Structure 1
Amino acid sequence: MKRGFTFLIGLLILCTSLVLYSDKRESVQIPGSNVVFDLVLIDGGKFKKEGRSFEISPFWMGEKELSYDAFTLFQHRVNDTPISSWTGGTYSVDAISRPTPQYIDYTFGMGSTGGFPAVSATQQGALRFCEWLYYKTGSFYRLPTEAEWEYACLGRKKSKNNIDEVAWHAGNSGDKYHKSGEKLPNDLGLFDMLGNVAEWTMDQYQADYPASVAEEKDPWVRPTSKHGRSVKGGSFYDGPENCTCTSRVRSSAKWQERDPNLPKSIWWNTDAPNVGFRLVRPVNQPSHEEIIKFFQTAIVLE
């Protein structure tokens, strides 16, 4: 009797945990495809950095770096379908501005389909994917701000995991990126926040960040030029000391040195196969008009 009661209590605790966990997690299938990506709910809260305190609103974040499998639906017209969950009009596959063909394989043989991260896209290319995803799913997705990214990376507590357990870096990667999710996640359930591929944020890079940030709630350093964005987390190219939640680099025109096009591509960074991105979906969804205005503000062509 006692053993049966103990078993029932254990089962109840397990089921309760699964329900709570499911409330913090959501799977999204891109309409007209078999591609599914998972989101983790990041509760809002206070974020302190270098003497500044910021308030972060709740948001959903990609459990993993965006996969090549998802990006290729947008990249290639032949992979897309007219099926859409957007209710604001009729989705047309032929009305989408898509990435130009790559003159070489920008994965450099490191991996594409089957769970590898989408790499080498410019920040504009990543944002254009988010824009396309809005018209496919009816939900607004974007890149994280630098504050959101670091807030989610740090999680609720400081990770006690060894860097080798959570990150692919220069010392263990074999000089290549790997499928997302092969290392341990942080305490919020996010994989590869450190290492593997560095990740785009929405912010213009500022050397004195966050001292120069004006907003105290949901700060975003709006872009003013084509280059110079903040990229977070380090990559398989970097040593462990540069694969941290505070690690940041400035994107550069040098990331397109091998691009033969004049002007340089707005879609591809030929020399940045170590940079990918991760999706964010705000809990409080903006209106269609606000979404249009966002992409007009976030995407700077020159």
Structure 2
Amino acid sequence: MGCFLILTFVLPFMLLAQKHIPFNTYEQPIPGSSLHFKMMPIAAGSFTMGSSSSEKNRNTDEGPQKKINISAFWMGAYEVTRDEFDVFYNDQNVSQNSNADAVTRPSPQYVDLTLGMGKEGGFPVNSMSQMAALMYCRWLYTKTGIFYRLPTEAEWEYACRAGTTTRWSFGGDANKLKDHAWYKPNAAKKTHPVKAKRPNPWGLYDMHG
């Protein structure tokens, strides 16, 4: 399959801690809709980022390994869905003046950005630039008063590994990958609804694909 930028939220622990909100799992409603998304608490810790030079099929950009310290944060339990993103895209409060561009608001979709892979029903939003993802996070802040952002590479890998040191969060058996991820052999060249596979030990879905 081709590559897709899948948007996952991160919420720094210190922001909600200042509001005396417990460091627990919570559901965030999306104003103006019946939708909501789930945020998982990721405890502070340290891990070895990257993969061992002896790991099979390792890419050269996965090293050298280094120990990284991570502060506590919340992370979305699964990818942002097309249903959720469309609330932002269709928000009537977003300026519609003809001089707006893709930086200040979503530009018109000249083609089907889902590539025919699914819209309603919990499919992950795809074909998104980093700027569009950042604008979505900014929009969420204006709607909820809570600051959301994209995870750093280190935060994402820390959450993906979920305290494990094996090749995948479920171990090193490639035969089990199909139970945890959509990838070339089982995806049939299309995306699939989020949360269809098993989560990692920290309750995060689709981290391996």
**Is it true that 1:159 corresponds to 2:159 in the alignment?**
no
Match of 1:178 among 192, 197, 204: 192
What one-letter code is carried by the residue in structure 2 that aligns with 1:159? F
Say which SS state the counterpart of residue 47 (structure 1) adopts: strand
Structure 2: give runs of 5+ residues left out of the alignment. 1-21, 50-63, 97-103
Structure 1: give runs of 5+ residues left out of the alignment. 1-21, 79-92, 196-302
CA deviation profile, 1:107-159 (whole Å, cap 9, x unmatched): 12110111011111100000010011110110110100000000000002241
Say which SS state the counterpart of residue 156 (structure 1) adopts: coil
CA distance in 2, matches of 1:69, 1:28: 15
1:32 aligns with: 32
Deviation at 1:74, TM superposition (A): 1.1
What one-letter code is carried by the residue in structure 1 that aligns with 2:72? P
1:103 aligns with: 110
1:208 aligns with: none
CA distance in 2, matches of 1:103, 1:95: 19
Matches within 5 A, 1:199-238: none
CA deviation profile, 1:24-44 (whole Å, cap 9, x unmatched): 311110122111100110001
Deviation at 1:179, TM superposition (A): 0.3
Match of 1:121 among 124, 128, 145: 128
CA distance in 1, matches of 2:91, 2:48: 44
Identity %: 44
What one-letter code is carried by the residue in structure 2 that aligns with 1:46? S
1:46 aligns with: 46
Matches within 5 A, 1:188-207: 188-195=202-209
1:224 aligns with: none
What one-letter code is carried by the residue in structure 2 that aligns with 1:60? W
CA distance in 1, matches of 2:123, 2:34: 16
Q: How many residues align?
A: 160
Q: Is the 8 A contact 1:76 1:98 kept in 2?
A: no
Say which SS state the counterpart of residue 171 (structure 1) adopts: helix
What one-letter code is carried by the residue in structure 1 that aligns with 2:71? S
1:142 aligns with: 149
CA distance in 2, matches of 1:35, 1:103: 26
Deviation at 1:94, TM superposition (A): 4.0
Deviation at 1:47, TM superposition (A): 2.0
CA distance in 1, matches of 2:202, 2:140: 24
TM-score, normalised via structure 2 length: 0.72
Q: Is the 8 A contact 1:107 1:119 kept in 2?
A: yes
**Structure having the higher Rg:** 1
* 32-41 or 140-149, larger mean C-alpha shift: 32-41
Q: Is the 8 A contact 1:74 1:98 kept in 2?
A: no
The one of the two structures with greater contact order (alpha-carbon pairs below 8 A, sep at least 6) is: 2
Say which SS state the counterpart of residue 117 (structure 2) adopts: coil
